């Protein structure tokens, strides 16, 4: 095998297109130069369609978690109450951030693998009139669940005065997001998922309603002061040193996304999801998420003791140079997760499915070679 031909099929970081790598290799420029200001303003504007907003999109040097924290420290104060929708590891992360800053976090928890439904949220909010913000995870990376953000936003609007704040780190740029039309107040994401970049950039957009709250608050952080980013963006720059090379890459990513078009991008991810799920069913590998809430960007599978998930991952990595993800927290060692987002297309999905079939046979699992590939091919044929 070629040592440098490792195939990454985890839910982030995702593979980087060669043309994006080349863009990031451009000679460094001054981060306060007119050249960078023009680049920065252009890329910030080009991000708006993926958020579904006419509001400014802020770009900061940091991982997706920095934007999660930014959404907390600019909208809440110690002692205020928030509702956190927890359907996996990253919903829990929102709760931990809130608690770190003294916010009272009310957790609405559902079993891992399930989605938070509008009815559950409505009942949860009924006796919590003091809640100032509701935090939700669009795609719960740890389980492969896509929560129904549009419907959840309607519940928040109709049954509370809270802001609705959404972590879209592992799906924005691959799924529909209509922040303005749906009534979402803050959406955050990161660069290393569907945006096909290395880790290191975070993006955030806020509604007019959110700004009315932010403008009345003293931010609980220095670097993550959103008002400072708004002031700088008006001058086509950032308050602190930007990741210049990553912004070069982001500009090229925007070109790639625009060339394909958002409807086609969304469709491609849906097809890859359906191919993966059809293949796992054909191989008798149980899926964690229900069809109605299955993410187009990551599929989680639970062997339920039929075979060792970690042994499968090891064989894929050591014999076939393919890396898939394992479980997190209490699911560590029990499940495996297949990423299919960003610089990934249906033929890449066929490759990983074929390798999974081989690996399952190599660890002694009773699978029929070709069954998963055939099921995935049938899905693809219906869409080409």
Which segments are annotated as binding site for substrate? Answer: 337
Cα gap 96→103, rounded to integer Å: 10
Q: How far apart are CA 204 and CA 50, in angstroms?
A: 11
d(CA 302, CA 139): 18
Element (H or E) spanning 164, and its range? strand 163-167
Concatenate the DSSP letters of all residues of 183-204 into one string: T-SEEEEESSSTT---S-EEEE
Rounded Cα distance, 170 and 174, in Å: 9
HSE of 291, CA atoms in CB hemisphere, 13 A:
6
Pairing of strands 81-86, 186-190: unpaired
- Separation CA 282–CA 290 (nearest Å): 16
The rounded distance, in Å, linking the Cα atoms of 7 and 317 is 9
Question: Of 347, 370, 344, whose CA–CA distance to 358 is shortest?
Answer: 370
| Partners of residue 190 on adjacent β-strands | 202
Residues linked to residue 325 through DSSP beta bridges, in sequence order: 337
Q: How many CB atoms lie within 10 A of CB 119?
A: 10
Residues 348, 17: Cα–Cα separation, whole Å: 14
Residue 233: left if φ>0, alpha if ψ -120 to 50, beta else—which one?
Answer: alpha
Give dist(CA 33, CA 36) in Å, integer: 5
DSSP code for 326: E
Binding residues, as ranges, are 337
C-alpha 194/C-alpha 192 separation (Å) is 7
């Amino acid at each position: 095998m070629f040592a440098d031909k490792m195939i990454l099929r985890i839910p982030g970081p995702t593979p980087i297109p060669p043309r994006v790598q080349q863009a990031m290799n451009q000679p460094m420029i001054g981060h306060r130069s007119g050249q960078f200001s023009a680049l920065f303003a252009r890329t910030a504007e080009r991000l708006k369609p993926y958020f579904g907003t006419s509001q400014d999109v802020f770009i900061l040097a940091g991982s997706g978690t920095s934007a999660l924290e930014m959404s907390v420290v600019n909208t809440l104060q110690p002692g205020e109450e928030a509702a956190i929708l927890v359907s996996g590891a990253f919903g829990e992360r929102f709760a931990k951030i809130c608690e770190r800053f003294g916010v009272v976090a009310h957790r609405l928890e559902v079993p891992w693998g399930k989605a938070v439904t509008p009815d559950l949220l409505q009942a949860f909010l009924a006796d919590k009139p003091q809640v100032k913000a509701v935090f939700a995870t669009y795609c719960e990376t740890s389980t492969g669940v896509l929560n129904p953000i549009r419907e959840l936003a309607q519940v928040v609007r109709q049954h509370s005065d809270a802001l609705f704040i959404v972590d879209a780190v592992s799906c924005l740029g691959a799924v529909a997001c209509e922040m303005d039309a749906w009534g979402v107040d803050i959406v955050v994401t990161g660069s290393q998922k569907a945006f096909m970049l290395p880790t290191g950039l975070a993006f955030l957009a806020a509604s007019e309603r959110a700004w009315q709250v932010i403008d009345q608050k003293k931010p609980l952080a220095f670097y993550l002061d959103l008002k400072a980013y708004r002031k700088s963006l008006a001058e086509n720059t950032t308050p602190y040193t930007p990741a210049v090379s990553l912004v070069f890459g982001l500009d090229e990513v925007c070109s790639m996304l625009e060339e394909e078009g958002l409807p086609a991008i969304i469709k491609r991810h849906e097809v890859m999801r359906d191919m993966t799920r059809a293949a796992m069913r054909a191989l008798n590998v149980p899926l964690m998420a229900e069809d109605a809430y299955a993410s187009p960007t990551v599929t989680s599978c639970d062997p339920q003791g039929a075979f060792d998930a970690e042994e499968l991952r090891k064989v894929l990595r050591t014999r076939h140079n393919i890396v898939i993800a394992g479980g997190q927290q209490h699911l560590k060692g029990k499940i495996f997760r297949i990423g299919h987002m960003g610089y990934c297309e249906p033929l890449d999905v066929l490759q990983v499915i074929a390798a999974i079939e081989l690996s399952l046979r190599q660890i002694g699992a009773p699978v029929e070679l070709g069954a998963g590939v055939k099921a995935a091919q049938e899905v693809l044929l219906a869409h080409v």
